[in-house]
Structure 1
Amino acid sequence: MTDSTALLDTPAPGAVHRRSFCKADGRMLYLYGREPHQLAPQTQDQDDIATGGELRFHPLRGEWNIYAAHRQNRTFKPAAADDPLAPTIPGGAHTEIPFSDFELAIFENKFSGLHALAPAPPSLDGIDLAAATGACEVIVYTPEAKGSLHTIGQDRRELLIAAWIDRYKALFEKGCEYVLPFENRGDEVGATLHHPHGQIYGFGKVPLVQQMAAKAFQDGYNLAAEIDTAMPEYGLHEVDGMVAFCPRFARFPYEVWIAPRTRRAGPWDCTTNELTGMAELMGDVTRRYDAFFGRPTPYMFALHSAPRNGGDNYHFTAQFYPLLRGPDRVKYLASVEQHSGVFTVDVMPETAIEALRAV
């Protein structure tokens, strides 16, 4: 059984230790912390684990989509006593993390749509299919049942960034072509677990949106110049070479991006100071959203980094898409957005940035 510790070499600030532990069901669990994790494991379940679904190509949209029927049975809004992301307390319910305490944890998703061992799909006449190879992982920010990117604190955010960088490297080495760390927060986004957490998808094929972004950068789009032009009017805050700003071409009301002023391919390419600034801005943006809307703000958050190959001139960003256009008004993605990809933006970026700066 795999159970080993390592001191990571990342540009993220401070020492970071990783414990790699193979769970009883064969899935890997990685515990990240400032000190080596040495607790003994608790009793574990040995459930059957799905090894991914299949990919089908949409001929009119030019995209590969994941089909994974087993995900219909994934955990849905469990009671607090059945929180699967909590530590396993001796004598208590078995959780995904079979230790009585931890700092930050990442484990392979039990209901993964992408998997390194995904089988070849059966043929379907007239439809292009492929194995859904890749990875789906869950990131647990804290053992506490409640919290946010703001409340977990600066040190934990820096630890989270270090863990992201470590997983980028590992998944690229395993052959994933694109890696997307993300967080779905709130019922309006469809989050089914309220414990503070995110996910990481490692794709065997670069998704269409990221293909288009990579091509734009390869063709010469200069995001650094756009940031220089937009600042400070569209700026929210700037720390150590990292800026939080509202893009002049934002599609969501109150959309905010975090990006280095200097082009970087991904967080692994950033300086230690830039990552410190990024961690601070992640907490600041979340704090401002919650204060402005007067409630825990539902949002979609993701890191947009270069693909494993073909990422020339790619400029890394971390993007927040709030699902509110007012404290009690949800921004629904309805027919026009879904069918055409053309968004109607209800709040002008100029208005949004002024409102968030005032918080």
Structure 2
Amino acid sequence: MRTRQVFRSAGSLADGREIIYFDEAPDTGRADVADRRPLPPSTTGSQLRYDPLLDEWVALAAHRQNRTYLPPPDECPLDPSAGERLSEIPAGDYDVVVFENRFPSLAPAPEPADGGDDPALLARPSAGRCEVVCFTSDHAASFSDLTPARARTVVEAWADRTAELGARPDVAHVYPFENRGVEIGVTLQHPHGQIYAYPFVPPRIAAMREAAGKHRAATGANLFDTVVADERRAGSRVVAEGEHWTAFVPAAARWPYEVRLFPLRRVPTLDRLDDDQRDELAGIYLDLLGAFDGLFPQPAGGTDPPTPYISAWHQAPVDADGTPDPEFGLHLQLFTLRRAPGKLKYLAGSESGMAAWINDVAPEDAAERIRAALPDPAARPTES
């Protein structure tokens, strides 16, 4: 696919939040369209509390209890504004758009937080930022319905936000992700993802960084490079490969169907991908999403919704000046909690209580089924 230029423009919503359009044509004027809603200034804030038993921070965001929940399609706040129907996106159309979440889990608190006289409470004000990423203005679409060109625009948006948010002094890690399906907890059906810019290194990333340090000390090699090389040599769990990317079911997969997607040239963050890597990523990612859509074909009269999934970008933590940890290997984790038609994998006593995972599907079997479900590249949506 030919590399495409993306045109970025930024504006403001009625309550002061930032909105950024990523357009595939220049001079659309979308960022100049005024938000006509009578919104009060945004004053949300959250608090971080420390769990000494696990050495982890927990975010409290009580204001999110009132966020929009499963509105009817004609009231979706992620659709473009049309006439007197005003949404979070003032423009009448868009390609890809990013804006600050109106109900953020992470946001600067207006006042300092502390435990006061409570000896068990160690708290501090939250910081960071939460953003919404709308992949298309088509309410009825899914990411897997996008053309490779549109998916490439999303990659550019992810990279832009990774670089800008990672440079903030209150951010330690940038996490782009997508939840799809009510089974996951999605409250808005429009195809969209989110970006969390954490003021701390989240536990999963901290554990990977620690493991990488131990591996380097023991072997002199990079852990992420070793994992990718070993999976490629084994071959049995590889589901897709290109010139720049490889996707495989990890040998110790936790989820019934789980794929890790790695660039063959290791980089720490999305903004460090070169044009060739970004081009190929758009296509291979669409193939993987298409395979997940095809894992559970609907029988005649079936009622199962599309495969629910979480798509999670694992990126390097950044230091105080925004420099990412060069030892960390960027990769995508794509997984579903559906283990069979009509059946979900629940995080019950072992997983939720002890964080000790038990998988019901052998990774080698999962890889075979994912390979069989990969769509024909000739059937991809055509370029716009």
Query: What count of residue pairs does the alignment treat as equivalent?
Result: 347
CA distance in 2, matches of 1:305, 1:152: 24
80-89 vs 227-236, greater mean Cα deviation: 227-236
Q: Is the aligned partner of 1:162 residue 2:156?
A: yes
Gaps of 5+ in 1: 1-11
Work out whether residues 218 and 314 of structure 1, in 8 Å CA contact, stay in contact via their aligned partners in 2. Answer: no
Match of 2:345 in 1: 331
Give the distance between the partners of 1:85 and 1:172, measured in 2 at CA. 25
Judged with a 3 Å threshold, the aligned counterparts in structure 2 of structure 1 residues 116 and 49 are, in CA distance, closer, same or farther, namely same
- For the aligned residue pairs, the C-alpha RMSD in angstroms reads 1.6
> What residue is the counterpart of 1:313 in the other structure?
327
Letter aligned with residue 189 of structure 2: H
Provide TM-score, normalisation by structure 2.
Answer: 0.87
Secondary structure of the residue aligned to 2:295 is helix
Q: Deviations over 1:226-285 (max 9, x none)?
A: 222222321111123101111112111110011112221122222211112221122111
- Of 318, 326, 336, which aligns to 1:322? 336
Q: 1:268 aligns with which of 251, 254, 271?
A: 271
Check whether the contact 1:299–1:320 (CA below 8 A) recurs between aligned residues.
yes
Moved more, 187-196 or 32-41: 32-41
TM-score by length of 1: 0.93
Q: Which amino acid aligns with 2:38?
A: D
Aligned to 2:227, what secondary structure does the other structure show? helix
3-state SS of paired residue (1:293): coil
> Where does residue 60 of structure 2 map in the other structure?
67
**Structure 1 equivalent of residue 20 of structure 2:** 30
CA distance in 1, matches of 2:317, 2:25: 32
Structure 2 CA distance, aligned partners of 1:338 and 1:46? 39
CA-to-aligned-CA distance 1:2-21 (integer Å, 9 cap, x gap): xxxxxxxxxx9321111110
Name the stretch that deviates more: 80-89 or 124-133. Answer: 124-133
Letter in 1 for 2:334: F
1:149 aligns with 2:143: yes
Q: Give matches, 1:149-298, under 5 Å.
A: 149-175=143-169, 176-219=171-214, 220=216, 221-231=222-232, 232-294=235-297, 295-298=305-308
Question: Which has the larger displacement, 134-143 or 35-44?
Answer: 35-44
Check if 1:82 corresponds to 2:85: no
Matched, 1:51 2:51: no
Distance 2:162 2:225 in 1: 23
Identity %: 32
d(CA) in 2 for partners of 1:28 and 1:133? 16
Q: For 2:127, give the aligned amino acid.
A: T
Q: Deviations over 1:7-37 (max 9, x none)?
A: xxxxx93211111101121000000011133
**CA shift at 1:320, angstroms?**
0.8
Stretches of 4+ moved more than 6 A in 1? none
Indicate yes or no: 2:92 matched with 1:123.
Answer: no
**Distance in 2 separating the partners of 1:151 and 1:55:** 38
Opposite residue 55 of structure 2, the aligned amino acid is G
